[in-house]
Amino acid sequence: MQRILVGIKRVVDYNVRIRVKPDGTGVVTDGVKMSVNPFDEIALEEALRIKERGAAEEVVVASVGPADCQQQLRTALAMGADRALHVQTDASIEPLVAARVLLKLVEREQPFLVLLGKQAIDNDNGQTGQMLAGLWNRPQATFASKLQLDGGKAQVTREVDAGLETIEIDLPAVVTVDLRLNEPRYVKLPDIMKAKKKPLETLDLATLGVEAREQLKAVRFEAPPQRQKGIRVKDPAELLAALKQKGLL
């Protein structure tokens, strides 16, 4: 079966103002709206469009995290995904562990394409897709702003520092997506109701043979310092004088 696997992550909604806990042990999540990582939502939208064009038969979404992740998986099912896989764990999941979990799901589901967001907006690591491609020993294309499938190949336009780069890769492959690839669809109430009947399978790390090892430890969280109020200068001479006064020149 022509199957696409899409990885999604549960994150604090991008509209929420992040607040650090008073003791500096993390960020406040109690009572905070959680959503699908925006880049992952774009990846899912692209998978659904590929299926609607007849180039895929099934879209499977997967997430690694606590029980509450099922809410975001149901949102993905409401968008149009066919099945959901939830690897449930309360452990802190680093990119390499996430990549190893996705590799196990790839071996199980045998997709011809894996779509992920280029990064998650909580930790901003941007590593999972690349690590998965390395573990899977398959081609990768990152930061995709355009994706075209042609038989056993994919042509991907990437957003790079110098502009745009177009490459061609063999399938199966891993593609991580950027903001300009598409605009995710709006989820309607009837689709939310239908999603409740779609299959959502719960797995655990032990069953997949993956150990949640932490290689990094967050010692303390701090909010960024408030920016100082800027000043307006009349000419370059006044700008230079202001910079010298602040010790920047």
Q: What is the DSSP string of 177-241?
A: E-GGG--PPPPPHHHHHHHTTS-EEEEEHHHHT-------------PPPPPPPP---SSHHHHHH
Highest-confidence segment of 19-23, 24-28, 44-48 = 44-48
User: What pTM was computed for the model?
Assistant: 0.87
What would the pLDDT profile of 101-119 be if each residue is shown by its tens digit? 999 999 999 999 999 999 9
Could you tell me the sign of the dihedral formed by the alpha carbons of 33, 70, 183, 112, in that order? positive
In contact, 104 and 220? CB cutoff 8 Å:
no
The dotted CATH code for 3-219 is: 3.40.50.620
Per-domain residue ranges for the chain?
Answer: 3-219
Rounded to whole angstroms, the Cα distance separating 103 from 132 reads 6
What would the pLDDT profile of 43-86 be if each residue is shown by its tens digit? 999 999 999 999 999 999 999 999 999 999 999 999 999 999 99
CA 247 to chain CA centroid, nearest Å: 41
Sorting pLDDT into bands at 50, 70 and 90, what band is 180?
very high
Rounded to whole angstroms, the Cα distance separating 189 from 214 reads 39
Sorting pLDDT into bands at 50, 70 and 90, what band is 224?
confident
Check residue 231 and give its pLDDT: 82
